[in-house]
Chains A and B, each alone.
Chain A
Amino acid sequence: MRHKPTIRRLLSLVGILAVFTLLAASCGDDDEEAAPATTAAPATTAAPAEPDPEPEPEPEPEPMEEMDTVVRLGILGECEGAFGAFHEDVVGGASLPFITFAGGTSNSPTSALEGFSGAVVAGVPIEVVGIGCGDDTPDRIIQEVRKIVEQDGANVVIGPLSGDESIAVANYAKDHPDVTFLNGIAGAQETTMVVQAPNFFRFNGDGAQWNAGLGDILHNVAGWDTAAVIADDYSFGWTSTAGFIAEFCAVGGDVISRVFPPLGTTDYSSFVQQLPDPDEVDGYFWAVGGSGTNASLEAFLAAKGDLTGDQHAGNLFFSPALAAALGTDIAGAYVGGFATLPGDVTSPAIQEYLASAEAAWDSLVSPMSGMEPGSPAAAAGFGFFYGFYSSGLAFIMALEQVGGDLSDNHAALRDALANIQIDGPYGTITLDENRQAIVDTSVQQLVLNDAGEVVSQTVALIPAVDQSFGGTFSPQTPPPDRENPVCETRDLPWAGNAIPVVDGVPQG
């Protein structure tokens, strides 16, 4: 049976040769890139004739020189996992400022993943060297960032998208002081508050900041005295819930139950059973993301038999799309803010920003257009896109401010980044001493429009929300988790200072 050469055997030979050819070609790429460094290093160390058995990685003088004159940009996208559909959105968000403000041109009219070319800031050319592909796990993003930095040679990285990823990347940043990192839209609190990498900057709020204003409104306007929370059991779920709990308790409410289903749960029935019944609590706060939002609410409906908007609130995952499965009874629910505002609030700055996205691409494939080629402005209007955008914008502004100075491990650039103020389309962004954004955020509500459809409406703007929640959170306090923060009353700087919004117009 095995003695005659068969077609199958020949095929296997061809197959294996093909694989090795591919590999050889790709390894060749690597060698070519590495060639200047490896040939330069022995040239300087050959003379002493010291047979060092463990050659340490040399500092590679040539790339350092290049770093002074070129920005090699790496973008940490998200092509798989729960947020994999937003890959185009986030890469587009990071690219748009370079297209709008730095003279860049998109390499494809229909995809941001092709990158852009021709961007120059303060005489420094910007070159996209790599686009990472995360899957919302820290392991994967570490491998992607290593590839982008250590192989592709990125000296500036924008990303990542998701909470746990950003903690891992911020830790990685500490070990790579020659690279400047700007967070994408990840919202875990520890990323900046605890890890505190000096070269990691976050120009978006964390999950807690985005929920500022919600607890105040639910207690003082909706009249909730008690609440139960259900949230994803990972850093973003904890952080997002922490923002709600801290404020709801600060203004006098009480959280009587906390339930944390694992991320990726599909059957939520056992978790919603742990929640108190609707007659035992004034309301429920949901921080269950991705496909879990719908699934968990449906499980609640099945278990408790009643779901009305005035007894439920959620974080940014509570979207009008929920009405498709849950019906219009969900109208009335209050929703925490995100990096952008719903479409009911508009301003010349917002219109200009959305138009710039339309000018950069003909279409983008985004969940905001149902994963079909759709309007780039639809993608740009959502927080994932805008988070990456604001980081790119901050970088351009800072680099212009320092006249393109990238010397001394980007010292001047980082100083400028730390002190920059962005007057962006969706509010002002400045950084605190941990290089974490102080942001304007909003509270929204799902309401019925004239056509009887559920839509998002902005009800209040909360200016200048900082990460510490008036001292509630600090590097010394336990980071948000299943038990923290504890429920206690305290003063919040913005309590009572919310700016009401009526029909999309801020009052005052």
Chain B
Amino acid sequence: MSPTGTASGPARPGWTLRRLLSARNLVVAAATALALLLPLFGSNFFVEFVMTRTMILGIAAATIVFLAAYGGMISLAQYLLAGVAGFMVGNAVVAQDAWSKGLKLGWNPWVAVLFALAVTTAVAFVLGALASRTTGIYFLMITLTYAVIGYYVFGSITPLSGFGGITGIDPPGLFEDHPVRMYLALVVLSVLVYVSFRVLAATPFGLALQGIRDDPVRMASLGFNVSLHRTLAFTLAGFTAGLAGVFNVWWNGQIDPTSISIGPTLDLLIVAVIGGTLSLEGAWLGAFVFVAANNYLRNLPLVDHIGITEARFNTIVGVLVLLIMILSPDGLAGIIERVRKGLHRLFQPPPGPGSTPAEAAAGSP
């Protein structure tokens, strides 16, 4: 079931055991368990690099999916918001006597996290409020503009960063020199984000948001404040992207304006598209495919003989995205869902009316 399928029916009170034990939830639970156990058998690089980056990108991409699936808004500003959090952490934690650009406030790293998330949330609120009256391609364009503005703001204002960026950003002691801890924290955070978004979809706010996605005029005539709902959804997504941004800057150790330029911004959208912009699970799936393709494709035996080298990564990902958009506009998650349904039909003769009627409506702005 896609998230829209879950939420677009009438709200049912409580979470019954049957609902909790759906195939979708069981698969997610199994994947989570696997992710938590991974450090026991995965190689260091796989855990500390591939999967850690997957989780960071997954959380950030999940905010795109959340806005697209529940709010009908495709946002290109999510990586910018992650970057805002990263820049704020960098400005706050780097010590006064260290060599780096930025404000060098030298704060406690946890205070810096609160500061970064507060700033990011405030920025997301303002940007969301400005963009909330637009939909569809106009919303996409206005958020793209945000991303471009963000790049030049941090590049031009040298007290905040400058184009050279902020380097030497250490994570708090809990994670410094403990990459596995950081990975596990990211898995837990991913689960929290995933569950929160799904729970939110069934709340009155979430249902109103989906109503606004499907028919804003009717929702407005029913007395719902359309702009406010969109703004709040964007703010929440911004806060969540900020969480990913904090971990990203801890993991990377530095941040500069090119970290949030058009390239990474589009990469995040590609992650969401590969996974499927209407499925929350797809965010992490897309992130994994993206990161794994980036790191492992070039190592496959003989691929360099057909021209697939490290320099061709963008070509490969481009072809992959093209294939997915042609074959399955709802991404890998959509493919998996179709396979599941196909198997279901194969082994169980048609019982009657289908169970997931509302998927198609999700994409309409």
**Docked-complex contact A172 and B253, CB < 8 angstroms:** yes
**Docked-complex contact B311 and A80, CB < 8 angstroms:** yes
* Minimum distance in angstroms from B37 CB to a CB of chain A: 10
**Docked-complex contact B39 and A29, CB < 8 angstroms:** no
Q: Is B228 at the interface (CB under 8 A from chain A)?
A: no
Q: Is A195 at the interface (CB under 8 A from chain B)?
A: yes
* Minimum distance in angstroms from B82 CB to a CB of chain A: 12
One of A145-153, A178-186, A401-409 at the interface: A145-153
Q: How far is the CA of A437 from the CA of B289 in the complex (A)?
A: 42
**Docked-complex contact A138 and B43, CB < 8 angstroms:** no
Q: How far is the CA of A83 from the CA of B156 in the complex (A)?
A: 23
Q: Is A171 at the interface (CB under 8 A from chain B)?
A: yes
Q: How far is the CA of A172 from the CA of B168 in the complex (A)?
A: 9
* Minimum distance in angstroms from B190 CB to a CB of chain A: 17
A151-184 vs B, CB cutoff 8 Å, 1 = contact: the mask equals 1000000000000100110011001000000000
List residues of B (162-199) whose CB comes within 8 Å of A's CBs: 162-165, 167-168, 178-181, 184
Q: Which residues of chain A are near B42, meaning CB under 8 Å? A: 34
With A30-B296, A33-B43, A194-B99 known to touch, is A133 a contact of B253 (CB < 8 Å)?
no
List residues of A (27-47) whose CB comes within 8 Å of B's CBs: 27, 29-31, 33-34, 37-38
Out of A139, A147, A195, name the residue touching B256 (CB < 8 Å): A139
Q: Which residues of chain A are near B41, meaning CB under 8 Å? A: 38
**Docked-complex contact B43 and A262, CB < 8 angstroms:** no
Q: Is B115 at the interface (CB under 8 A from chain A)?
A: no
Q: Is A235 at the interface (CB under 8 A from chain B)?
A: yes
A347-368 vs B, CB cutoff 8 Å, 1 = contact: the mask equals 0000000000000000000000
**Docked-complex contact A139 and B99, CB < 8 angstroms:** no
Q: How far is the CA of A488 from the CA of B18 in the complex (A)?
A: 78
Q: Which residues of chain B are near A235, meaning CB under 8 Å? A: 164
Q: Is B258 at the interface (CB under 8 A from chain A)?
A: yes
**Docked-complex contact B256 and A475, CB < 8 angstroms:** no
**Docked-complex contact B320 and A19, CB < 8 angstroms:** yes
Out of A37, A131, A146, name the residue touching B310 (CB < 8 Å): A131
Q: Which residues of chain A are near B253, meaning CB under 8 Å? A: 142, 168, 171-172, 175
| Most chain B beta carbons < 10 A, residue from A9, A26, A146, A164 | A26
Q: Which residues of chain B are near A175, meaning CB under 8 Å? A: 253
List residues of B (244-262) whose CB comes within 8 Å of A's CBs: 252-256, 258-259
Q: Is A502 at the interface (CB under 8 A from chain B)?
A: no
Q: Which residues of chain A are near B184, meaning CB under 8 Å? A: 54
Q: Is A371 at the interface (CB under 8 A from chain B)?
A: no
Q: Is A225 at the interface (CB under 8 A from chain B)?
A: no
**Docked-complex contact A30 and B256, CB < 8 angstroms:** no
**Docked-complex contact A475 and B99, CB < 8 angstroms:** yes
**Docked-complex contact B99 and A57, CB < 8 angstroms:** no
With A12-B338, A38-B43, A190-B99 known to touch, is A22 a contact of B310 (CB < 8 Å)?
no
B318-339 vs A, CB cutoff 8 Å, 1 = contact: the mask equals 0010011001100010011011
A88-126 vs B, CB cutoff 8 Å, 1 = contact: the mask equals 000000000000000000000000010000000000000
Q: Is B107 at the interface (CB under 8 A from chain A)?
A: no
Q: Which residues of chain A are near B256, meaning CB under 8 Å? A: 137-139, 164
Out of A56, A60, A164, name the residue touching B164 (CB < 8 Å): A164
Q: How far is the CA of A146 from the CA of B48 in the complex (A)?
A: 10
Out of B44, B53, B165, B339, name the residue touching A57 (CB < 8 Å): B44
List residues of B (26-74) whose CB comes within 8 Å of A's CBs: 39-46, 48-49, 53
**Docked-complex contact A26 and B300, CB < 8 angstroms:** yes
Q: Which residues of chain A are near B292, meaning CB under 8 Å? A: 23, 26-27
With A12-B328, A168-B254 known to touch, is A151 a contact of B45 (CB < 8 Å)?
yes
Q: Which residues of chain A are near B296, meaning CB under 8 Å? A: 23, 26-27, 29-30
Q: Is A11 at the interface (CB under 8 A from chain B)?
A: yes
Q: How far is the CA of A178 from the CA of B65 in the complex (A)?
A: 41
**Docked-complex contact B167 and A139, CB < 8 angstroms:** no
A-B interface pairs (CB < 8 A), number = 160
Chain A residue nearest to B300 (CB atoms) is A26
Q: How far is the CA of A268 from the CA of B336 in the complex (A)?
A: 49
**Docked-complex contact A22 and B300, CB < 8 angstroms:** yes
With A19-B320, A33-B43 known to touch, is A79 a contact of B310 (CB < 8 Å)?
yes
Q: Is B295 at the interface (CB under 8 A from chain A)?
A: yes
Q: How far is the CA of A167 from the CA of B101 in the complex (A)?
A: 12
Chain A residue nearest to B320 (CB atoms) is A19
Chain A residue nearest to B316 (CB atoms) is A22
**Docked-complex contact A15 and B327, CB < 8 angstroms:** yes
Q: Which residues of chain B are near A486, meaning CB under 8 Å? A: none
Q: Is A72 at the interface (CB under 8 A from chain B)?
A: no
Chain A residue nearest to B165 (CB atoms) is A138
A57-68 vs B, CB cutoff 8 Å, 1 = contact: the mask equals 100100000000
Q: Is B155 at the interface (CB under 8 A from chain A)?
A: yes
Q: Which residues of chain A are near B342, meaning CB under 8 Å? A: 5, 9
Q: How far is the CA of A314 from the CA of B43 in the complex (A)?
A: 49
**Docked-complex contact B299 and A34, CB < 8 angstroms:** no
**Docked-complex contact A12 and B335, CB < 8 angstroms:** yes
**Docked-complex contact A171 and B335, CB < 8 angstroms:** no
Chain A residue nearest to B298 (CB atoms) is A133
**Docked-complex contact A57 and B327, CB < 8 angstroms:** no
* Minimum distance in angstroms from A470 CB to a CB of chain B: 21
**Docked-complex contact B44 and A34, CB < 8 angstroms:** yes
Q: Is A263 at the interface (CB under 8 A from chain B)?
A: yes
Out of A57, A80, A479, name the residue touching B179 (CB < 8 Å): A57
With A22-B300, A29-B296, A150-B48 known to touch, is A234 a contact of B164 (CB < 8 Å)?
yes
Q: How far is the CA of A21 from the CA of B324 in the complex (A)?
A: 16
Out of A37, A55, A57, name the residue touching B40 (CB < 8 Å): A55
* Minimum distance in angstroms from A193 CB to a CB of chain B: 9
List residues of B (311-365) whose CB comes within 8 Å of A's CBs: 311, 313-314, 320, 323-324, 327-328, 332, 335-336, 338-339, 342
Q: Is A453 at the interface (CB under 8 A from chain B)?
A: no
* Minimum distance in angstroms from B240 CB to a CB of chain A: 21
With A137-B256, A263-B163 known to touch, is A29 a contact of B299 (CB < 8 Å)?
yes
**Docked-complex contact A132 and B310, CB < 8 angstroms:** yes
List residues of B (200-250) whose CB comes within 8 Å of A's CBs: none
Chain A residue nearest to B264 (CB atoms) is A139
With A12-B327, A56-B178, A150-B48 known to touch, is A482 a contact of B254 (CB < 8 Å)?
no
Q: How far is the CA of A147 from the CA of B327 in the complex (A)?
A: 32
A residues near B, CB below 8 A? 5, 8-9, 11-13, 15-16, 19, 22-23, 25-27, 29-31, 33-34, 37-38, 54-57, 60, 79-80, 84, 87, 113, 131-133, 137-139, 142-143, 146-147, 150-151, 164, 167-168, 171-172, 175, 190, 194-195, 233-235, 238, 262-263, 475, 479, 481-482
Q: List 8 A-B contacts (CB under 8 A).
A: A5-B342, A15-B323, A26-B295, A31-B46, A137-B259, A139-B252, A262-B152, A262-B163
Known: A23-B292, A57-B44, A171-B168. 7 other contacts (CB 8 A): A12-B338, A30-B46, A33-B43, A133-B310, A150-B45, A171-B253, A482-B162
B residues near A, CB below 8 A? 39-46, 48-49, 53, 99, 101, 152, 155-156, 158, 162-165, 167-168, 178-181, 184, 252-256, 258-259, 264, 289, 292-297, 299-300, 309-311, 313-314, 320, 323-324, 327-328, 332, 335-336, 338-339, 342
Q: Which 8 A-B pairs have the closest CB atoms?
A: A34-B43, A26-B296, A79-B311, A133-B310, A12-B327, A151-B45, A137-B258, A194-B99
